[in-house]
Structure 1
Amino acid sequence: MGTALAIEDLHVSYYGTDAVKGVSLTVETGKLVGIIGPNGAGKSTFLKAVLNLIPKDKGTLSILGTSIQQARKKIAYVPQRSNIDWDFPITVLDAVLIGTYPHLNWFRRPKKEHKEWAIQCLERVGMQEFSRRQIGELSGGQQQRVFLARALAQKAELFFLDEPFVGVDMTSEETIIQILKELCEQGKTVIVVHHDLSKANDYFQELILLNKELVSYGTVEEVFQPDIISKAYRGQFAFINEIGVSM
């Protein structure tokens, strides 16, 4: 088993205020990893810094044993739905076709085989019947499935998803998590920013627990300890009890 992600002393700040401080960790390939922590813990900031979408103050990282620039074609990213312009005039099929672009040469348009592959990806997420719809006409769960299909179309090795279950229906959530588990069974690595701790044990193999700093990283059983969770959530005992971590 190789290394999917290696981070050493990652720091990120906004206007002089620390958002992520001194995070170091290594994720092995083939893992389904959840990033958890309280609101304002820097979870999305951490993810964006890893993907070089925002600048970091310092720190080194490698993805699949190389730099982010060299590994770009092997990475798929599904952003938060709130960051997407759903009024953009693009159909579901065209949105998924964008996932094939990293594998096209400059100025080449997708061919028949690329469209067939995009349709297969839509079928996998149960959205093939909506291929001609404008993406803004879909429900939240349907939109999220379409963007997962776009990620699948990239044929990536490492998948990053930022809060994929927010505002989606239960059917879509079950479809998405099942596909993510299947990807890991195929040797892919999946890293997910997640907010619902009650489902962490069912969804993930490992957890990254953040509160600006790395509080804990390990298996769900290792991280889901009362003292570790309360350290990250700073004594929110009622909330911790709600998720089933006895104090």
Structure 2
Amino acid sequence: MEDIVIVQDLYVSYHGNEAVKNLSFSTKAGQIVGIIGPNGAGKSTLLKSLLNLIPRDKGQIKIAGKPIHEMRKKIAYVPQRSNIDWDFPITVIDTVVIGTYPNLGLFKRPKKREREWAYECLQKVGMEEFSQRQIGELSGGQQQRVFVARALAQKAELFFLDEPFVGIDVSSEETIINILREQKNLGKTVLVVHHDLSKANSYFDELLLLNRELVKYGAVAEVCRPDVIKKAYQGQLSFLDEMGMTVS
């Protein structure tokens, strides 16, 4: 497998504070990678900088050997639910249709074919019966399924998800992780900002453990060692206890 995401010497500031520093790593294609770390570690900042949604102070980011602006159409992004205006007057189906826009020509509007494809994507996440609902009328898990459907509608090669499992029901979480596994099996690459390490072994192929700087990147078993986790979480013993870890 080739390296598809390559980050070299990345520094990023957010609201005037250094959020990520001296970060270098590379990710193989066809993997599901979890981005983990304590609160304030720079996880979401890293994801946004990979997408060029926030500027970097220095460093290089290449996606499939190209700069991000050349690959943007190939990357689907699912933001944190807290960053979405759920009062916006848009239906579920129209939300998913938006995912088809990157593949339309300039000034072209989606037509019947795009709407049919959007409906298929809703079926994949089990949300077709809610297609005419306003997105704010849905539960948290249903909302997240809709945004995963929007990502699928883009026919992307890479999927970047920021805390997709926060505040959702178990059924929706299972639906979403199964969709991500399907994309992996199709050779797609998935990066997920995540916080629940109890599920890391079943969800991810590799983990990137971050606390502003890179603490460890590699297979789940290598990263989820107590000594490595303790280094990143710096004395958050209650967190380690929740994971069933004992650290001397």
Q: Which residue of 1 aligns with 2:43?
A: 43
Give the whole-Å Cα distance in 2 for the aligned partners of 1:139 and 1:15: 32
Residue 197 of structure 1 deviates from its aligned partner by 1.2
TM-score by length of 2: 0.97
Q: Which residue of 2 aligns with 1:71?
A: 71
Letter paired with 1:101? Y
**RMSD over aligned Cα atoms:** 1.0
CA spacing shift, 1:223–1:138, aligned 2, 3 Å? same
1:194 matches 2:194: yes
SS at match of 1:109: coil
1:169 matches 2:169: yes
Gaps of 5+ in 1: none
Identity of aligned residues (%): 68
Give the whole-Å Cα distance in 2 for the aligned partners of 1:13 and 1:41: 12
Asked if 2 retains the 8 angstrom alpha-carbon contact of 1:4 and 1:158, the reply is no
Give the whole-Å Cα distance in 2 for the aligned partners of 1:90 and 1:44: 26
* Residues 200-219 of structure 1 deviation map (CA, whole Å, 9 limit, x = unaligned): 11111100000000000000
SS at match of 2:96: helix
Deviant stretches of 4+, over 4 Å? none
Give the whole-Å Cα distance in 2 for the aligned partners of 1:89 and 1:122: 19
Asked if 2 retains the 8 angstrom alpha-carbon contact of 1:216 and 1:223, the reply is yes
1:241 matches 2:215: no
Gaps of 5+ in 2: none
Q: Which residue of 2 aligns with 1:2?
A: 2
Asked if 1 retains the 8 angstrom alpha-carbon contact of 2:97 and 2:118, the reply is yes
* Residues 110-143 of structure 1 deviation map (CA, whole Å, 9 limit, x = unaligned): 1211111101000000000000000011000000
210-219 or 6-15, which deviates more: 6-15
Q: How many pairs does the alignment contain?
A: 247
Asked if 2 retains the 8 angstrom alpha-carbon contact of 1:34 and 1:193, the reply is yes
Give the whole-Å Cα distance in 2 for the aligned partners of 1:238 and 1:129: 42
TM-score by length of 1: 0.98
